[in-house]
Structure 1
């Protein structure tokens, strides 16, 4: 399965260090009364994007049942059908939604919900098992994690899932997932601007894969955006409380930091996107970057990063040093 010079381990699998995230493929939907999608989608284009990523070497595909209230899973299932056995398929559980109204709110990590949600995900994806099943709610606590791991182990025994992980990064939650028997990965924020240091340390301590979400800072590190007005009115990046990359008051500071390291990231013939991914790989030898993908052209640029590999140690140190200075200047 590993055909690249930059590879990582996820449980029993060895895969290229570039995967893809598919949140944007869900189209428009709402969660807790706020827009939660990335704008309208063309499903044929979405399928082409996933397949272009595969053609370029991607072997890890990440989705979630709540993305588009089930729609992303359906699109991903259609896209990977010709090569299902050649990819590691990951999805998530725990956020509550209604497919018909395309709205969601709240969370549920009880065993009963997880069993029901797993069956629904298998049906939408068109598969007989999920490779990595992840706790989705970021605020899941230790007791919820224990309940979830118990349900996950039952699903492993039933052959419905192979392994599991967590998107909740509390070190106590990570320890519970790691101790469950088949816990292999922690999805966490990791990009040029920020890292979840306790989660990185926990992954090293428990020998777990780092699934690096937001490796392109929700698209800011693509270099395409200079103002939030470039985003559609209903784009989640204009409304989310979790990231400030596109907040009116803070975006200029993020852009200034990006400009300060642009030359390093684009050295060696890399595009800015490829340099941002190279930083993630240099930052953690366990990291599989999970940039979102919407078009085949995006996918081709992303997979081009594999040929370049990670930044070297000097480049990594330069980026970190410059960003510390840029952050101090912004205060």
Structure 2
């Protein structure tokens, strides 16, 4: 079946009149993509899988949401600011903006794809109709959700979803491919594990993993599939933020950073600053990149300034 999968990619390139290019080497082979370095101003970098990534990453869930009022021009300004700050990691998903986030990222990084490390997620219900029909994406997605379809990585769609994300992102390979908040039982599905392994062997993805806020699910995915990449909430109230060391052997993408630790009702106002919460997440063992999910250029710059000084163990909130 794998030859059919590759053939479908070749046919797409011919029909769309794109310049054909060979599939990249499997991730285990030496490549410039896997040894890429953070470009831009001096910024702390860490090793996530086979990639050097900036400690601060750009989350795009708000950027392309229907209620954000943001446009492709806003996305261009935000990626430009991320570049100026020395960030090289982008986190997205096929469901963000009903695939708009992936398409915008693909267009805006096409001139320098090797500068960026892109993580995308799939599995939640989404609809991606052709251009003039995209106004129907949202109601159709809502209809699928009303039917109780919360995790939509169906057997016949699993390979197709990877290929579609590749086309929208205009990349030869997805650096980090994640299942989007799957049920815990997904780690018992050998077929999904086999498809992910095959996609990596074919050079379509480099790293893969299971995002979850449940540490047991993350560890079970590692035992079942050998995956070490994951995405999870990291703050003083989350499991990862409280069980320090539980994910020290993983490559963690930290999200939902802005949650202050609980305080006694009679305590003074000890709300933590955004900078301190960012630095706390970055200090948690195993964390490689901390996401800032913003659509504001100024907000992004403020968050980047939080890492002007190196992160140390003293940044952990006790």
- Does structure 1 conserve the Cα–Cα contact (< 8 Å) formed by 2:91 and 2:120? yes
Contact 2:231/2:255, CA 8 A, preserved across alignment: yes
Asked if 1:208 corresponds to 2:250, the answer is yes
User: Which residue of the partner structure matches residue 20 of structure 2?
Assistant: none
- 1:14 matched to 2:64: no
Against the structure 1 CA distance between its residues 306 and 90, is the aligned structure 2 distance closer, same or farther, given a 3 Å change threshold? Answer: same
Query: Does the 8 Å contact 1:152/1:164 carry over to 2?
Result: yes
Please name the residue that 1:166 is paired with: 210
1:84 equivalent to 2:113? Answer: yes
- Check conservation: 1:145, 1:176, Cα contact below 8 A: no
CA contact (8 A) 1:175 1:202 kept: no
Change (3 A) 1:255 1:187: farther
- Give the TM-score of the pair, scaled to structure 1: 0.70
Indicate conservation of the 8 Å contact 1:43/1:75, yes or no: yes
Quick check: 1:24 aligned with 2:62?
yes
CA distance in 2, matches of 1:258, 1:39: 34
Q: Which runs of 5+ in 2 are unaligned?
A: 1-36, 129-133
Tell me, what secondary structure is at the counterpart of 2:99?
helix
Decide whether aligned partners of structure 1 residues 66 and 174 sit closer, same or farther in structure 2, where only a CA change above 3 A counts: same
SS of the aligned residue for 2:74 comes to: helix
Q: How does 1:76-225 map to 2 (within 5 A)?
A: 76-99=105-128, 100=134, 101-102=137-138, 103-104=141-142, 105=145, 106-143=150-187, 146-179=190-223, 183-196=227-240, 201-204=245-248, 207-217=249-259
1:244-255 paired onto structure 2 within 5 Å: none
Residue in structure 1 matched with residue 298 of structure 2 by the alignment: 297
Change in CA separation of 1:155 and 1:39 when aligned onto 2, cut-off 3 Å: same
Q: Secondary structure at the match of 1:9?
A: strand
SS at match of 1:85: helix
Deviation at 1:162, TM superposition (A): 1.0
Contact kept in structure 2, 1:96 and 1:108, CA below 8 Å: yes
Assess, with a 3 A threshold, how the Cα gap between structure 1 residues 39 and 82 changes in structure 2: closer, same or farther.
same
What's the TM-score, normalizing by structure 2? 0.72
Using the alignment, how far apart are the partners of 1:285 and 1:120 within structure 2?
30
CA distance in 2, matches of 1:9, 1:256: 42
Over the aligned positions, Cα root-mean-square deviation in angstroms equals 3.1
Instruction: Find the aligned partners of 1:62 and 1:45 in 2 and give their Cα distance.
Output: 17
Which runs of 5 or more structure 1 residues have no equivalent in the other structure? 29-37, 222-244, 263-271, 321-331
More helix by share: 1
